Structure 1
Amino acid sequence: MITVEQYLHFTGQALDGMATTVRDLGAERATLTPIPGVSSPYALLTHCCGVADYWAGELVAGRPAHRDRDSEFVAAGPVEPLLARVERTKEALEQDVRQADFRAPLRAEPDSSFLGPDVPLDQGAALLHVYEELAQHHGHVDMLRAVIERGVA
């Protein structure tokens, strides 16, 4: 079984990688959608903060996330507030993971419209889903960065 520190290392690496890309691109380029039907790097990072807040914060730790999932995919704005949100998300995720009981049931039933895993989840599996989403979208953001930097957008 992995340790809390290992889990936080890998989730932090994914969040930091996306944050670096958004910072390096800047607000104008980070909000580009160079591929039809695909969200911008900025929006994907916003979505990842929402994922962590909801799945780890609300379903594992029991604190309300007040999430608007649909707006995450079209989010745009200045970079600095989003980077600050990433830091807050990482801090909250650390607290959530440290207090998790990996075999305990979730504190609420996942919203079926949020397209989570279609298997029963305990707190540990919900945290694994958070990592799954962060890693997946980190890859998406890296690919979008390459497209944007090559001027295809």
Structure 2
Amino acid sequence: MIGRDDYRHFCVTALDAMSRIVEDLGDERANRRPALEGANSPFSLLTHCCGVVTFWVDHVVLGREVHRDRDAEFAAQGPVGPLLREVQELQRRFAADLLAVEPAAPVRNPPAAPSRAVAPAESVTQGFALQHVYTELAQHLGQMEIIRDLILAGEITPPEE
């Protein structure tokens, strides 16, 4: 079983890599979307990843009240600086929150609608939910790397006004 520090390392590494992409692209390019139907911008993907960590760790695992607008995460646009500060704060909380996790224990707020990524709600352990978080971060990092490459190659649409 992976330890808390090792798990945190992998999650933080993914968040740091996404943050670097957004920072390197800057305000204008980080808000661009590839010219593909339904594509996301790097900014919106990083916003979504903050939502994933907050929802799954704070709400599902630890039982805190969280109000999430998942659709708004994918529509998010804005300056890079505040988003990067949000990621830094999220990582600080994440490190502290992992100390309260009991991997084999059931989650405190089972997910309402199981998806293909989540087992039936009654069998979701805290460790399972945390693995779901890492899966999402790794998946979206890879997606963001491809989007960054498309943006830099000029295969983009202008940011929405």
TM class by shorter chain equals over 0.9
Matching residue of 2:64: 63
Report the aligned-residue RMSD. 1.5
Aligned equivalent of 1:127, options 109, 125, 130: 130
Max Rg structure: 2
Normalized against structure 1, the TM-score is what? 0.94
| Superposition map of 1:36-51 within 5 A | 36-51=37-52
| Superposition map of 1:1-153 within 5 A | 1-34=1-34, 35-112=36-113, 116-119=117-120, 120-153=123-156
| Percent of residue pairs bearing the same amino acid type | 44
Normalized against structure 2, the TM-score is what? 0.90
Deviation at 1:118, TM superposition (A): 3.6
Report the Cα distance in structure 2 between the residues aligned to 1:53 and 1:92, rounded to whole angstroms: 9
Kindly report structure 1 stretches of 4+ aligned residues shifted beyond 3 Å.
Answer: 113-116
Report the Cα distance in structure 2 between the residues aligned to 1:113 and 1:85, rounded to whole angstroms: 28
Report the Cα distance in structure 2 between the residues aligned to 1:118 and 1:81, rounded to whole angstroms: 35
Deviation at 1:105, TM superposition (A): 1.0
Deviation at 1:124, TM superposition (A): 0.5
5+ long unaligned stretches in structure 1: none
Report the Cα distance in structure 1 between the residues aligned to 2:59 and 2:9, rounded to whole angstroms: 21
5+ long unaligned stretches in structure 2: 157-161
